[in-house]
Chains A and B, each alone.
Chain A
Amino acid sequence: MKILMVDDSRTMRNIQKNVLKILGDPIYTEAGDGVEALTCVASHPDGFDLLLVDWNMPNMDGLTFVKRLREKDKTTPIIMVTTEAEKARIIEAIKAGVNNYVIKPFTPDSLLERVKQTMAKCQPVPA
């Protein structure tokens, strides 16, 4: 499983990695903002199985990144992991193409549950 983590806090990326260990041994690629994340996407032509994206970041925020990504990639599951918890912001993120949402602070169980839920929903339909 290949996961792209986009968060300006390395500590937060490490916390998420610790939680997701249970999924086996995912291969992580990390980005500190939306600009770096777009570069990571461009340099991984095989894509990712899941993206975990923060909202508030320098240079390019997570929402802008998601909008830019969805211009080309409509299907890769994206979970926004953020302190932005107002209903209007959640709706804005979902309209931009986010598949699921985790509000910081989160418990390990809640993050894991959202990841499992998202992966189950976004399974490709067998041909």
Chain B
Amino acid sequence: MSAVEESPAQPAMRTSHLIVHFVDSIQEVLRTMTGMSVEIGPPTLKKNPTPSYDVSGIIGLSGEFVGSMVLSFQQSTAQAIVNAFAGMAIAPDSADFPDAVGELANMIAGSAKTRFGGGTFISVPSIILGSGHTVARLNGVPCIVIPCHIAAGDFAVEVNIKPQFAAPLAPGAK
């Protein structure tokens, strides 16, 4: 094995410690911008590329860490959070609905990457509405799902990231 090759388990080990930053960001953004408290379930490894729910806000990461974060809502949960965020009822077919989902995703990803300690950049959000869509993920990099619950229903944050440049392993390391 060369100095920079790594086993499939290593990318997860290199990024799993960052999940706590996403958890903190989810709670901070929802509390500050909607007044809602979020129950966080145990993070799990995701096997398939279909986002957990029907409404997804996607943010790309580049720089020190690369990959994506997907904020995925049940429709009813998205509706409750968007209304609370905007301070008014937003119709699900209004252009403001995906806009609000995107801004929430932007805030969660932005707040999390700040907690990484710098050197990571986020893209502007992309939004997908409708069940059954898939999101292309980094090959060989685990996707970690953070299950979230509010009174109105469930949502999840899916994190699929890795360091841009893996540090070379020490000579002789296994």
Contact = CB atoms under 8 A, between A and B. Distances in A.
Given A9-B99, A11-B96, A86-B114, A107 B86 contact: no
A85 B110 CA distance: 8
A75 interface: no
B32 A105 contact: yes
A: interface residue count bin: 20 to 34
Given A58-B124, A88-B118, A107 B32 contact: yes
Contacts, number: 63
Contact of B110 (A14, A15, A58, A84): A84
B107 interface: yes
Interface string A64-98: 00000000000000000011111111000000000
Contacts of B122: 56, 83
Interface in A91-113: 104-107
Contact of B124 (A8, A11, A18, A104): A8
Contacts of A14: 86-87, 96
B102 interface: yes
A9 B106 contact: yes
A83 B107 contact: yes
Nearest to A58: B124
Contact of A104 (B99, B100, B107, B117): B107
B29 interface: yes
Interface string B101-132: 01100110111001001100011100000000
Nearest to A10: B99
Contacts of B3: none
Contacts of A9: 99-100, 102-103, 106
B85 interface: yes
A57 B95 CA distance: 17
A88 B123 CA distance: 18
Contact of A84 (B87, B100, B102, B114): B114
A12 interface: yes
25 contacts: A9-B100, A9-B103, A10-B96, A11-B100, A11-B103, A12-B103, A14-B86, A15-B85, A15-B86, A18-B87, A56-B106, A56-B123, A56-B124, A58-B124, A83-B106, A83-B114, A84-B110, A86-B114, A86-B117, A86-B118, A87-B118, A88-B118, A104-B106, A105-B29, A106-B32
Interface of A: 8-12, 14-15, 18, 56-58, 82-89, 104-107
Interchain residue pairs A-B with the least CB separation, the first 9: A83-B110, A105-B32, A9-B103, A85-B114, A11-B100, A86-B118, A105-B29, A105-B33, A11-B99
